[in-house]
A and B are shown apart, each in its own frame.
Chain A
Amino acid sequence: MTGRVALAFIAFAPSLSPAADPATPPAAIEQFEKRVRPVLLEHCGKCHGTDPKKIKGGLKVLSRAELLTGGDAGPAIVPGNPDKSLLVQVMRYDGEMKMPPKGKLADADVAAITEWVKAGAPWPDAGTSVAPTPPKPAGPLFTAEQKQFWAFQPVKPPTPPATNSASPVDAFLVAKLTAAGLKMAPDVDRRTLLRRATYDLTGLPPTPEEIDAFEKNNSPDAYAKVVNRLLDSTAYGERWGRHWLDVARYADSNGLDENTAFGNAWRYRDYVIRSFNADKPFDTFVKEQIAGDLLAPTTDEAVRRDRLTALGYLAIGAKLLAEPDKQKMLIDIADEQLDTLGKGLMGLTLGCARCHDHKFDPIPTRDYYSLLGIFTSTRTMQGLGTVAKAFERPLGQPERPEVTAARKKLETTRKSIRDLERQFAKLKPSAFFLYAPVSVKLDKLRAEAEQAEKLVPDVRLERLRGEVRDIETQFGKTTEKDKARREELHVEAEKRRAEIKELEKTAVAPEFVLGVEEGSAAGYGTQPRNVFVQIRGNYVTPGEEAPAQFMRVIAGENATAFVSTTANPAEKPQPNKTRFGATRSASGRLELANWLTDPKHPLTARVFVNRVWQHHFSEGIVRSVDNFGRLGERPTHPELLDWLAHEFVTHGWSVKHLHRVIMLSAAYRQAGTHDAKAALADPDNRLLWRFPRQRLDAEAIRDGLLAVAGTLDRTPGGTLLSTKNFEYVTTDQSGNRAKYDTARRSVYLPVIRNNVFAFFQTFDFPDPSTMNGKRVNTVVAPQALYLLNSPFAAAESKAFAARLLKAVPDDDAGRVTLAYRLAYGRPATTEEVSQSLGFVKEIEGSLTAENDAPTRKAKAWAGLCQVIFASNEFIYVE
């Protein structure tokens, strides 16, 4: 979308040129009609005037006035001055913008145009079109319709309609169903409800024990207790944290052009899981991710670490790390952040306003650049040089000053040693007299380095470990007969091992998190300042300066600046350079975070509440969860959405409270029963006349499989990425080096952009390069192939069979029943038992090549288990 045509000029202020002299000499007229008008019409007209639907660059060339007004890049001609006239410049084909694009005009044509401009650009019928039209009509910025659009209205807590429903949620839903002559489905049976709630909140199936306990508990609050138990489990954060990670386009590698590892991204992922499990207020969660480093200082170490880790949200975007155009790179990185944040938190496609005013929503380009300035004033990268690396911040407490000093000293001393050694090596034999002094100096430096090294635990540790390895090698090479030498080496090694043990207590490897910091001139020119609008998204065509102002349709057209600015006269427009404006007192990240989490903000709570609703019911109240704009969908139940948003905010932005409110409703507890009449009236189930059947997502399928097979490893947190930080994860010659042959929960598997784990890819894991709040749900043959042929499916089927054979060694029917209880959360019917056993017998009979009976049995049962895993009942939740 970014216009990359670079223009080799800057825009000129419109000059009020004189009209063509009415007394244009006939010769000039003839020259114009013969040599100029045909050229303009034939070579320029197609894109610049004759087809009103296809005006490129906003420029029309069919009248003198149009040329004087010009297009996005400014006036096309300066009468009398061909060298300053864009029209002539582009035709000369020596700048970056060349017109016409298909090839240079004949020299004679260029000369004719040049002469004509030089002569004052006489245009015989110019009488009516004298002055350039003003660039933009004055008037209100937004139409009344735009201002009244539902999503920009404040949240008004509506009173639930009067119905028999206990839950306000149901009251809103029932009112609409009744109006449509429909009603909710009856309550679902308890086993199905438990399976539904358990997968929904934890991404795992209920265990047979949990099913039994729930079935036996007849108290009225049994279900509410189950919901609480599930919300309190650590599996909850692993499930719902993952939903947020889709919105945060989480990944462990950069993707895009150079796929290098984000070795520390997992800390952000664990932070997200931790935050959901702790029911961190959502407003705090948002503030930490946008401005964790700028919040009021805290003495709580855990909070301090969380705040820095949260900044990973801004840093983990996919970036072109080898972009040769560094100015474009700066803008692209900020654009990615703004676009992700716009869709993720506000449901607005802000990125659309990069090149032009948003075509559908009231987001002028200027508002986009006002916000973009926040991120061009933020340091996101270590630098922009190829191959660039994302910025990281140390997580630990600052080092003791004497250690830092020693580290520095060590660095400089080592450099001096290297330099001196190099000089020494170059000494000619004739300069023998220098040998001694240089070597004395070297010895002195080496002693100093050793001294300094002892003060820096991690460096010392590294040295000692290396020495131990060397000694061990020598030990290995020493024959057993040479006992004395061996003893000597052993002592040396032990001495070092003791010191290592001692050092390991104090020397912790410094921890880093991906994150951002306030911009600075030293941080590749990110000092806080305004940017100018970039016409057609191109930095070489700056428009007006974008002040530090929030989106005017929400903040008001005269909103005060969110940070103070100081005019910077040093910022002058320069050709081919990004134009920056007034200096800002700060980037504005903190102010942005506060603005977004202001309870009065019309979008933040609505958008998030809607995401939560979507994960429970598979569709949001606004079905286009990432787009609340005009092209998005309208809410099916606007009052319910507002009621939920208000409830959410007034209960301290508690996500777990929101779950309870939703899950305790009758709507959530209803059956998925088909109803022909309702299906005809409301085929999309927008009114929720039944609970929608849902296919498990990629993670839940894999975790469910592991859990049922009994192989799931519930170890939380940490990283499974085998690639070192910033090293390549995939290159041309290698497949993905990440390892997925682990039984850990799916949320802990590395997410490798450009090469997502095959299982995930097959089952609709979203492209982690961009945020995506709503996964697609496809039914494709590769999914079947995966379940039929993959080593994973085979191994887990085998494990499931082994589990069954071990748990129920002597009762074939009982084994089938257990299999059904584990996989489907219900016992098998007699018909299903006999069908399964018939199948097992058939397979066993076909395995004629297998002589060992127990192996035959194991294989046949594994065959059955694979079918259970592949079945619709396993993959879908009612």
Chain B
Amino acid sequence: MPTFCRTFAPAVTRRDALRTTANGFGLLALGGLLAQQQSRAADGPLAERKPHLKPRAKRVIFLFMHGGPSQVDTFDPKPLLAKHDGKPFPGQKPRVQFAATGNLLKSPWAFKPGGNSGIQVSDLFPEVRKMADELTVIRSVHADNSAHGGALLQLHTGSDTFVRPSIGSWATYGLGSENENLPGFVTVCPTLGHGGVANWSSAFLPAAYQGTPIGHSGIQCKDAKINDITGDMATASQRMQLDLLDKMNRKHLSTSGPDAALEGRINAFELAFRMQAEAPKVTDISKESKDTLEMYGIGDKLPTDNFGRQCLLARRFAESGVRFVQVSHSYKWDQHGELRKDHAKNALEVDKPIAGLLADLKRRDLLKDTLVWWGGEFGRTPTAQGGDGRDHNPHAFSMWLAGGGVKGGFVHGATDEFGYYAAENKVHMHDLHATILALLGLDHQKLTYRHAGRDFRLTDVKGHVVEEIFA
């Protein structure tokens, strides 16, 4: 029963138990043979754990806009950009650029105030604009890598250089799950490009914290399911198989002496059996009301159907106790050209489903402890590529948070007058990660895991919690 890296833990610790008998999506219920371990019976890797701080949110739904939506066309109005349209950018362009860009390009979309707060949102997001009073828009997010792969990795794992656990894995590691029969971290239709699995991997954290993919971005949400959740065997026959298996394994165990791994494995089969009954129920939306489907824009041939289904699944997973749910609109938002046409098309696909998700969470009283996080891996340049495109820009972009403990109708941070660089109250990706963990009640400096000779954190040696946005 090997365990890696016992150096830092005494022989029997919870962490050891996690490593060796990490009972996947659920708790490890150790039976009678290991009397001395019974006190830890409910202490599986996904058992709920106490946060470090007062939690403001219990779970996260991350709406990932893969490709990099343009901040100056969505949530960061720049009147000067319109005024100087076609003129050179007066400031200094970044030292390392993804590609060369030309002169300033004004936004093709008008901005209007939304809600009572009057937050300016462009015409790309008319439905989300109506929910402005729920949002904290952070206009000063910035990161380090101007290529998709590196930027996705940094967004999801904090590092664009090394393989590190995903933020969803960290959150689940820190808090466990509210439902032992489901994974703690689910990602709906994630991309397999630009880091692929590395973006939802648990890296060196125990496998129980790995994101469980539901399909991938190449297929429609309605066809997506968890791998091997069902097979060909009829349930009745499978029950007979499990009964025989249980007999054989218990006999084997009785001759081999106490062994937590052997016993963990006996329980894993029972858990799998329960999971395959429960998980398909969560992904089955057939019992949702017509009104709900309409809110999310779900309907045959509607442009919002696919993302609407993803958002609805996100709500259903959140409701069922999954700690971290990601849905991906992938990989659409990379408009080096055809900005007018494609940003409009992309926004159309997601605007209504997102607004629907927020409204649905709110009416179910889930928004108060569910943190909804929206954004891409970087923003875009205020300068043009061709006549109708923008390049990648990690130096400034807008993301927004809603629900779970953040202010509503609030704008934090600002970019320069053209929207090229984050300028005021800058929020680095590490800061955002620290803040999201803090909202969940986790201190990013204390949430560590010892691996290969040192304690690792999501925020490496960085990160500053942006308390200003807390409600």
List residues of A whose CB falls within 8 A of some B CB: 1-2, 4, 6, 94, 96, 101-104, 255-259, 318, 320-325, 332, 343, 349, 352, 359-360, 386, 576, 614, 618-619, 623-624, 626-627, 629, 631-633, 672-674, 683-684, 692-695, 728, 730-736, 754-756, 758, 764, 767, 769-770, 774-786, 788-791, 793-794, 832, 835-836, 839, 842-843, 846-847, 863-864, 866-867, 870-873, 875-876, 878
B240 touching A781, Cβ below 8 Å? no
Residue of A nearest to B5 (CB): A624
The reply to whether the CB of B32 lies closer than 8 angstroms to some CB of chain A is no
A-B contact pairs, 19 of them (CB 8 A): A257-B147, A257-B148, A257-B152, A258-B149, A320-B161, A323-B147, A324-B145, A623-B5, A693-B261, A732-B193, A732-B217, A754-B196, A764-B207, A779-B264, A785-B276, A789-B232, A794-B232, A846-B234, A871-B249
Among B3, B272, B454, the one with the most A-chain Cβ atoms within 10 Å of its Cβ is B272
The one of B19, B28, B148, B152 that contacts A776, using a Cβ cutoff of 8 Å: B19
B228 x A786 contact (CB < 8 A): yes
Q: What's the dominant secondary structure at chain B's contact region? A: loop
From B23, B98, B208, B237, A324 is in contact (CB under 8 Å) with B98
Q: Does B417 contact A (CB under 8 A)?
A: no
B228 touches A790 (CB 8 A): yes
Contact with A along B144-187 (1 / 0, CB 8 A): 11111110110000011111000000000000000000000000
Known: A352-B453, A672-B256. A103 touches B424 (CB 8 A): yes
| Chain A nearest Cβ from B431, distance in angstroms | 9
Q: Find out whether the CB atom of A257 lies under 8 angstroms from the CB atom of B216.
A: no
Do A754 and B265 touch across chains, with their CB atoms under 8 A apart? no
For A695, what are the chain B residues with a Cβ–Cβ distance below 8 Å? Answer: 1, 261
Residues of chain A with a CB closer than 8 A to B241's CB: 788, 863, 866-867, 870
Q: Using known A-B contacts A103-B425, A779-B268, determine if residue A633 contacts B7 with beta carbons closer than 8 Å.
A: yes
Most buried by A among B144, B191, B193, B464: B193
**Complex CA distance for A318 and B428, rounded to whole angstroms:** 26
Q: Is B237 within 8 A of A843, CB to CB?
A: yes
Other A-B pairs beyond A6-B95, A324-B147, 12, CB < 8 Å: A257-B152, A322-B148, A349-B453, A623-B5, A692-B2, A776-B206, A778-B21, A778-B24, A784-B271, A788-B269, A842-B240, A876-B262
> Are B153 and A257 in contact (CB-based, < 8 A)?
yes
CB neighbours (8 Å) of A349 from chain B are 452-454
Taking a contact as CB atoms under 8 Å apart, the answer to whether A102 and B425 are in contact is yes
B245 touches A870 (CB 8 A): yes
CB nearest neighbor in A for B21:
A779
Q: Which residue of B lies closest to A734 (CB)?
A: B218
Q: List A contacts of B231 (CB < 8 A).
A: 788-791, 793-794
Measured between alpha carbons, how far is A847 from B236 in the docked complex, in Å?
Answer: 10
Instruction: Please give me the residue from chain A that is nearest to B466 by CB atom.
Output: A102
Contact check, A782 vs B218: say whether CB atoms are below 8 A apart.
Answer: no
Which 6 pairs across A and B sit closest by C-beta, in order of nearness?
A257-B149, A674-B257, A780-B24, A789-B231, A754-B196, A781-B24
Check B268 against A780 for contact (C-beta < 8 Å): yes
B197 within 8 A of A: yes
Q: Among A6, A94, A325, A785, which residue has its beta carbon within 8 angstroms of that of B275?
A: A785
**Does residue B26 face the partner (Cβ distance < 8 Å to A)?**
yes
| CA of A102 to CA of B427, assembled, Å | 8
Q: B residues within 8 A CB of A96?
A: 95
Chain B 117-154 near chain A by CB (<8 Å), digits 1 or 0: 00000000000000000000000000011111110110
Nearest B residue to A6 via CB reads B95
Instruction: Decide if A732 touches B207 in the complex (CB within 8 Å).
Output: no
Whether B423 sits at the interface, judged by CB under 8 Å, is yes
A323 touches B150 (CB 8 A): yes
* Distance between A595 CB and nearest chain B CB, rounded to angstroms: 23
Against A, the Cβ 8 Å flags (1 = close, 0 = not) of B185-200 are 0000001111111100
Asked whether B207 lies within 8 Å of A776 as measured between CB atoms, the reply is yes
Inter-chain contact B163/A732, CB cutoff 8 Å: no
B24 touches A758 (CB 8 A): no
A631 to B456, CA, bound (A): 14
With an 8 A cutoff between CB atoms, is B350 at the interface?
A: no
How near does chain B come to A180, taking the closest CB pair, in angstroms? Answer: 15
| Number of residues on chain B facing chain A (CB within 8 A) | 105
CA of A627 to CA of B453, assembled, Å: 7
CB <8 Å contact, A780 and B208: yes
Q: Which residues of A contact B21 (CB under 8 A)?
A: 778-779
Please, which residues of chain B bring their CB within 8 A of the CB of A386? Answer: 147
Q: Which of chain A's residues have a CB closer than 8 A to the CB of B265?
A: 779, 783-784, 872, 875
Interface core residue of B192, B193, B464 (most chain A CB under 10 Å): B192
Taking CB as reference atom, which chain A residue is nearest B272?
Answer: A784
Contact between B150 and A257 (Cβ–Cβ < 8 Å)?
A: yes
Determine the chain B residues whose CB is within 8 A of the CB of A631 once the complex forms.
7-8, 453-454
Are the CB atoms of A777 and B272 closer together than 8 Å? no
Q: How far is the CB of B352 from chain A (nearest CB, A)?
A: 23
Are the C-beta atoms of A754 and B198 separated by less than 8 Å? yes
What residues of chain A lie closer than 8 Å to B252, measured between beta carbons? 871-873
Tell me which of B6, B227, B453 has the highest count of chain A C-beta atoms within 10 A of its own C-beta: B453
- Known contacts being A776-B206, A778-B20, A788-B233, is A324 close to B97, with CB within 8 Å? yes
> In the bound complex, how far is the Cα of B191 from the Cα of A874, in angstroms?
36
Given contacts A777-B2, A846-B236, contact A320 B147 (CB under 8 A): yes
A614, A774, A782, most chain B CB atoms within 10 A: A782
